[in-house]
Amino acid sequence: MDDAATREWNELVRASHPELTPEQFERLAGYGDSAPREVGEVLFAAGQAAPDLIVIRSGSVDLVQAATLDTPEEVLARFEAHDFLGELNLLTGQRVFFDARVAEAGEMVVVSQDAFRRMMADEPDLSDLLLRAFIARRSKLQRSAGARGIEIIGSAYSSRALALRTFAARQQLAHAWFDCDSVDGHSLLRAAGLTADDLPAVILPDAVLKNATPGVLAENVGLSVPRGSSGRMLDLAVIGAGPAGLAAAMYGASEGLATVLLEAIATGGQAASSSRIENYLGFPSGLSGAELTGRAMVQAEKFGARLYSPCKVVRLDTRCGPLELTLDDDEVVRARAVVIATGAQYRTLPLPDWSRFEGAGIYYAATELEAKACGRSEVTVVGGANSSGQAALFLAERGASVTIAARREELEATMSAYLVDRLKAHRRVTIRTGTEVTALHGDASGVQLAGVTLTDRVTGASVDHDCRGLFCFIGAAPSTAWLGDQLLTDEPGFVLTDGLLGRDESEWPAAYGILGRAPLAFETSVPAVFAAGDVRAGSMKRVAAAVGEGASAVRSVHQAIGG
């Protein structure tokens, strides 16, 4: 590691083991039950759900990576007296992937999940200290070569493998990736007894998942809705974990509402695909969309919101009694109020072989995963909005030669001036306005995208252009098809709310006449069902605006359910 990386790693190590004052330690220990523990005793084991917080009065505990198919057992960390064991899975409900084994006998305090939640709510200083440590520990695990609790193996050109890696990254799961064509990948394939027909696969401490999907992985790590949970009545169900949904879940949970957050793909929505957001208030140096939404996810879970992903809602039943959400596995979630924050779906170009190259050269996000796949090759970014400019700069700064293909003649019409100026000044960025991508070309194997045809919209002149990665940012359509005719929408499908439902009671949906009130802010044509963010008709399609709408919708939720 270089000096900067070494300093960053040392800071993570320091943050992972904060020093508690004697008074803080006793307060924390007071939430649990103390008992003597012997050498070799396992305090929690890989695969265990809902682990407890362990506080060490005396003795020491090793965090152990069990032997994998191709590596021996390894001690990842040792926790000494006056330290505590636990990381983000205490908030997320994810199963643990390592064993905690007593290395030196001593007195250990076990803080149950219920007591832990109570402590996080009642002790702000301890809550902040533990949360910072949990985040640092997860970050350490994600960067540690030895932490292989989840191993993903597949082809670097597989869209299904990319979906798994994206899901694991957005859910902040500590995992290791193995390209099946690499030396290490071949070794792991042999050790696991896997063939090409089994890929992509996920290797867990207690299972090998063949032809794995994000949904299967989620079920095995504790991120799917528990079976038979429909009997529980929630205060608030939020659909969609983009900025609006995360804000609604965080504010709902922090204000005492029993809140669940259901995300169909992976946390962050389209915002998580933004390589850099520089106009978000309070972050003058900018931050990535994944950073922003990842922090928001932890914040929502800190206050008690439960996030399940991937968890696709296929039907909303508003006919009688509580609102019911049916999931694609037929589980039912019941809630007194619902916030729909499903955002929008990426648009695609109507070109032959488009679906064949998705994940194998065609991408809808520009993050480290995609940048590493493209390396220093030629790439093309399609679109003229801010997301296109941010992606182009991000890829160029990582060594790629970037061509921007925009339909309009002037980028300034659709992109912020500061981005246009930076793009024009960057030596590895070429801007082609009035240009469309009109054809895709594969490599010799036909598996990987190798080039595109660019066509001038005025002259009709075309040129073939080398292209290892095509990044598509041409807008999105509202994700509302699953609603059917349950809610009123505008012609494109965006959900109508509050003032757009009518000027007075003569125009409001009949349900509001029965209630004797007007629709609340962000309330849809069905009482107690709200919409926030990009899915809402008339919304400003910006991250900060979506966050504000999600937070504001919770105020209306309280009014609707009498909370």
User: Which string of DSSP letters, residue by residue, matches 258-304?
Assistant: -EEEE-SS-TTGGGGG-S-B-SSTT-TT-B-HHHHHHHHHHHHHHTT
Please report the pLDDT score of residue 228 as a whole number.
64
Please report the pLDDT score of residue 535 as a whole number.
97
Across the range 12-41, mean pLDDT stands at: 95
Please report the pLDDT score of residue 320 as a whole number.
72
**Domains 229-345+502-561 and 354-472 alike in fold:** yes
Q: What's the CA gap between 82 and 59, in Å, rounded?
A: 9
Q: Specify the residue for token string 């002037």.
A: 410
Please report the pLDDT score of residue 501 as a whole number.
95
Give the gyration radius of the chain's Cα atoms: 25
* Three-state SS annotation for 89-142: HHHHCCCCCCEEEEEECEEEEEECHHHHHHHHHHCHHHHHHHHHHHHHHHHHHH
Please report the pLDDT score of residue 12 as a whole number.
85
- Range 249-261 burial, b when 16+ CB lie within 10 A, else e: bbbbbbbebbbbb
Overall fold of domain 151-221 = Glutaredoxin (3.40.30)
Residue percentage of the chain with pLDDT more than 90: 73
Please report the pLDDT score of residue 444 as a whole number.
87
Residue percentage of the chain with pLDDT more than 70: 98
251-291 per-position pLDDT tens digit: 999 999 999 999 999 899 888 878 788 888 898 888 888 89
Contacts of 162 (CB under 8 A, 6+ apart): 359, 369
Q: What's the CA gap between 518 and 509, in Å, rounded?
A: 10
pLDDT at 8 over 90: no
Please report the pLDDT score of residue 227 as a whole number.
72
Tokens of 218: 């989620």
Q: Does domain 354-472 have CATH number 3.50.50.60?
A: yes
Please report the pLDDT score of residue 230 as a whole number.
62
Question: ∠241-484-235 over CA atoms, to 5°?
Answer: 45
Please report the pLDDT score of residue 128 as a whole number.
94
* Maximal C-alpha separation, the chain: 81
Please report the pLDDT score of residue 231 as a whole number.
63
Across the range 223-235, mean pLDDT stands at: 79
Q: What are the boundaries of each domain within the chain?
A: 20-120, 151-221, 229-345+502-561, 354-472
Phi, psi of 560 (to 5 degrees): -70, -40
pLDDT at 68 over 80: no
239-243, 364-368, 509-513: range with highest mean pLDDT: 239-243
**Least confident piece of the model among 103-112, 222-231, 337-346, 521-530:** 222-231
Q: Specify the residue for token string 């004797």.
A: 516
Please report the pLDDT score of residue 554 as a whole number.
98
Residues in the chain: 563
pLDDT at 563 over 60: no
pLDDT greater at residue 381 or residue 281: 381
Please report the pLDDT score of residue 223 as a whole number.
87
pTM for this entry:
0.85
Please report the pLDDT score of residue 151 as a whole number.
93
In the chain, what are the helix, strand and coil shares in percent, each to the nearest 5?
Answer: 35, 25, 40
Please report the pLDDT score of residue 113 as a whole number.
92
Across the range 183-205, mean pLDDT stands at: 94
Q: What is the DSSP letter of 231?
A: G
Phi, psi of 246 (to 5 degrees): -65, -40
The beta strand positions in 38-83, using DSSP E, are: 42-44, 53-56, 60-65, 74-79
Quickly state the pLDDT bin for 450 (edges 50, 70, 90).
very high
Across the range 362-382, mean pLDDT stands at: 93
Contacts of 59 (CB under 8 A, 6+ apart): 37, 81, 102, 103, 104, 105, 106, 107, 108
* CATH class of domain segment(s) 20-120: mainly beta
Please report the pLDDT score of residue 97 as a whole number.
84
Q: What's the CA gap between 522 and 507, in Å, rounded?
A: 17
pLDDT at 480 over 90: yes
pLDDT at 99 over 80: yes
Q: What's the CA gap between 374 and 470, in Å, rounded?
A: 10
Residue 109 has, within 13 A of its CA and on its CB side, a CA count of 20
Please report the pLDDT score of residue 549 as a whole number.
98
pLDDT at 5 over 80: no
Please report the pLDDT score of residue 392 as a whole number.
97
Q: What's the CA gap between 178 and 526, in Å, rounded?
A: 48
pLDDT greater at residue 223 or residue 213: 213
Q: What is the CATH number of domain 229-345+502-561?
A: 3.50.50.60
Residue 407 burial (10 A CB sphere; 0-12, 13-18, 19+): middle
430: Cα separation from own chain's centroid: 31
